[in-house]
Amino acid sequence: MPELPEVETTRRGLAPLLVDQRIRTAVVRNRAMRLPVSRGLPQLLAGATIRSLTRRGKYLLLDCGTGTLILHLGMSGRLWVVDRATPAGKHDHFDLVLENGTVVRLRDPRRFGLVLWHKGDPLRHKLLAAIGPEPFSPQFDGAWLYRITRHRSAAIKLVIMDSHIVAGVGNIYANEALFRSGINPLAQARRIGATRCALLAEQIRATLDDAIVAGGSSLRDYVGSDGLAGNFQSQFMVYDRAEKPCQRCGTKIREIRQGQRSTFYCPRCQK
């Protein structure tokens, strides 16, 4: 958390404010993120014009012409627009200041996020190069999922959360997509047939799309670029609903641990 819908919601909120705007400077208050922030970043960004703001998986990419600013929100980060007179808080580690006075601020209490500068093709950066197809891309469909899972004995939930298989499907949305597909999260990936793989790929896209429309899920720290919370949590069918009745059949939702993450599912609806 934040996952793909939260990152995409942030991107859509910021893009109209950032694209074609000139950067005045950057303010780095704490270099000690997951990877250290470059000491020279303010000088690298000063005077650059933002050409585009795109997303790859859970990474935001600001094309600044001479290089790309790569941002990752980690587990607790958020990017939002603040008034330039707003005092920085304890966990406000980075500001991007535009010539028009707009300030985009990164708050990250746990400091697992990233603020990186990369010259050249950002998709060749070591953190992005091995990411699998985007869930909304033509490459990701039932045929792809079926083919890539044929020799994988791992649980299907762990497989669809693997960014090498498909980009950006985090824990919340893996839980929800598997429920929508009627697939038990413990099922071996190679045991899922072609028809069910097609359904799962479809429901991954549908779940992510519904979450983006709802502005993402706000469970702890996440808010969008406008400072408003997302609302997809009101649509959860299984996530964070342990011991509550399934909204389809009334059976109690179970919670287990998979890959050090919580898994929620209905033992009756998901086979």
In DSSP notation, the chain reads ---HHHHHHHHHHHHHHHTTPBEEEEEES---SSSPPPTTHHHHHTT-B--EEEEETTEEEEE-SS-EEEEE-TTT-EEEEE-TTSPP-TTEEEEEEETTS-EEEEE-TT---EEEEE-S-GGGSTTTTT----TTSTT-SHHHHHHHTTT--SBHHHHHT-TTTSTT--HHHHHHHHHHHT--TTSBGGGS-HHHHHHHHHHHHHHHHHHHHTT---SSS---TTSPPP-GGGG-SSTT-TTSBPTTT-PBPEEEEETTEEEEE-TTT--
**Does residue 185 carry a catalytic annotation?**
no
**Does residue 34 carry a catalytic annotation?**
no
**Does residue 271 carry a catalytic annotation?**
no
- Among 20, 10, 13, smallest CA distance to 98 is for 20
Active-site annotation holder among 24, 55, 56, 58: 58
Active-site annotation holder among 3, 8, 134, 176: 3
**Does residue 3 carry a catalytic annotation?**
yes
Residues with active-site annotation: 2-3, 58, 261
